[in-house]
Amino acid sequence: MQTAYLAGGCFWCVEAIFQRIKGVKGLTNGYCNGSTENPSYEEICSGQTGHAEVVKIEFDESEISFSDLLEVFFLTHDPTSLNRQGSDVGIQYRSAVFFINPEQRDLAKTTIESIPNAVTEISPLDVFYAAENYHQNYYNNNPNQQYCRLVILPKIEKYFK
């Protein structure tokens, strides 16, 4: 098993996509690389903590590679949009790969360099805090919620077309 930390806007959207990818074994929505210890969602939303909304992805590398995860990641969000994904605006919604080893750093760098105008951050993972329980498995637990129907579902449908 391997672990990846990817930030592509709202973690609910990233989680919903990766829940449907073969080889992904576990997902945890959370916050990383900010200045506040054990931040709350409300603190993150202020944009003052420096954290990114991130999904911790546990994957079986015999079924899917880190490179393949990056491909899914870059196909399902806009890596050219600085601190924003759709109507979600703020530093917490930035595009970022938080690497845990040199191989992840190098693959992320190579991939991002191939994307014109990409602003995706590549940084070593400093700290990860799991988000509150109600943020976990959000789309599956709330499929009729307006954000899920209007934002997340179209992303899922677009990816799997």
Residues catalogued as catalytic = 10
- Torsions phi, psi of 72, nearest 5? -60, -45
Task: Report the alpha-carbon distance of residue 14 to residue 95 in Å, rounded.
Answer: 11
Phi and psi torsions of 39, nearest 5°:
-70, 155
Q: At 100, phi and psi to the nearest 5?
A: -120, 0
3-state secondary structure of 32: strand
140: its two tokens: 């599956």
Q: Among residues 47, 51, 54, 27, which one has the least CA distance to residue 37?
A: 51
CA 91 to chain centre: 13
